[in-house]
């Protein structure tokens, strides 16, 4: 039997409409600024999607593009300007940054109350202690999609593949805080197949096309594919081999149309929440 397809576009639309409605109740529109450094093709697509969505919700939106050769100091100066700009509630520095820039130093220079990624050390620490202030958009979107489809987590074995600060690590923390038993797998993990044979929930965030084989999945498992990989023929595919997986699990997110739209919806929500904080303080 074919798996239930978890429709991220439908779920995202629901939360975007909610964000638009709540933003309309504020005395000024939420403001977001996205900084892109360099010309990475994937980053260009993601940044323009974020900007377009913010505009469609009626947010103030400013995209700042710096050249590939921009110094770390130049990026820090931009962040500083935005930190003291009262029309901007959210600052997002698109990752990856060029190698000569220390990304964590840049992320930590963002005023924590304007951090809409949850990557500032203060916000990452707060989440790790189970008292979240800003939750990273992709893992937050995964949790929201699971809840939209009434998928319970308590007592379940969740396997997260990937341990990045952007997805894997905060994902594991959120799943554990929702009372799942969490296994984190990564590039040095041995016998991934054996671990997945016991996984009720699988979150794949490795960034390698078709890394997880459909045959490895448990028949009643729920599979969340965070990967967005472009093949040589131009096709976008996830980290999971969808065509076989769809016949081996109970529910799965498609790529595209799964977690991607949820990430953007959660960014809009995080920006709205920060704007509320600024407007009520
Ligand atoms: N690059 C890939 N995903 C993300 C994200 O969620 N936030 C930022 N800032 N950069 C990213």
Q: Give the tens place of pLDDT for each residue, 239-253.
A: 999 999 999 999 999
Smallest CA-to-CA distance from 11 within 206, 271, 251 is with 251
CA of 35 from ligand 1 middle (Å) equals 11
75-102: average pLDDT: 98
pLDDT digits (tens, 9 = 90+) for 195-228: 999 999 999 999 999 999 999 999 999 999 999 9
Residue partners of 23: CB distance under 8 A and separation at least 6: 29, 30, 57, 58, 59, 272, 275
Q: Per residue in 222-238, pLDDT tens?
A: 999 999 999 999 999 99
Q: Is the pLDDT of residue 1 over 80?
A: no
Residue with more model confidence, 281 or 186: 186
What are the residues facing 13 on neighbouring strands? Answer: none
The rounded distance, in Å, linking the Cα atoms of 204 and 16 is: 25
Q: Is 269 in the pocket of ligand 1 (CB under 6 A)?
A: no
167 CA distance to ligand 1 middle (Å)? 9
Place of tokens 């729920």: 222
Q: Catalytic residue among 50, 114, 156, 218, which?
A: 50
The rounded distance, in Å, linking the Cα atoms of 225 and 196 is: 14
Determine whether 117 is an active site residue: yes
Given pLDDT bands bounded at 50, 70 and 90, which one contains residue 281? confident
Provide, rounded to the nearest whole percent, the portion of the chain with pLDDT above 70.
Answer: 100
pLDDT tens track for 49-58:
999 999 999 9
- Which of the following is catalytic: 61, 78, 94, 274? 94
Q: What is the pTM of this model?
A: 0.98
Task: Report pLDDT for 39.
Answer: 97
Please write the tens of the pLDDT for every residue from 109-119: 999 999 999 99
C-beta of 103 in contact with ligand 1 (< 6 A): no
Of 81, 1, 84, 86, nearest to 35 (Cα)? 81
């Amino acid at each position: 039997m074919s798996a239930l397809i978890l429709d991220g576009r439908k779920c995202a639309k629901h939360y975007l409409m909610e964000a638009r409605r709540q933003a309309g109740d504020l005395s000024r529109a939420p403001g977001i600024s996205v900084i892109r450094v360099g010309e990475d093709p994937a980053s260009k697509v993601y940044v323009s999607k974020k900007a377009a969505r913010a505009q469609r919700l009626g947010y103030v939106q400013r995209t700042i593009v710096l050249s590939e050769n921009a110094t770390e100091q130049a990026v820090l100066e931009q962040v500083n300007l935005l930190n003291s700009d009262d029309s901007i509630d959210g600052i997002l520095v698109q990752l990856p940054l060029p190698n000569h820039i220390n990304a964590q130093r840049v992320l930590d220079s963002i005023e924590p109350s304007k951090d809409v990624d949850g990557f500032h050390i203060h916000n990452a620490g707060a989440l790790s202690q189970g008292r979240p202030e800003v939750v990273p958009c992709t893992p937050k979107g995964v949790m929201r999609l699971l809840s939209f489809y009434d998928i319970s987590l308590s007592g379940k074995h969740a396997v997260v593949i990937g341990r990045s600060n952007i997805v894997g690590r905060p994902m594991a923390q959120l799943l554990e805080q929702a009372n799942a038993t969490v296994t984190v797998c990564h590039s040095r993990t041995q016998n991934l197949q054996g671990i997945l044979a016991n996984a009720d929930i699988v979150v794949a965030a490795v960034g390698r096309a078709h890394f997880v084989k459909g045959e490895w999945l448990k028949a009643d498992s729920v599979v969340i594919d965070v990967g967005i990989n472009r093949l040589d023929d131009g096709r976008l595919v996830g980290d999971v081999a969808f065509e076989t997986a769809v016949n081996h699990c109970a529910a799965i997110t498609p790529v595209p149309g799964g977690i991607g739209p949820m990430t953007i919806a959660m960014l809009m929500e995080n920006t709205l929440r920060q704007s509320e904080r600024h407007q009520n303080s």
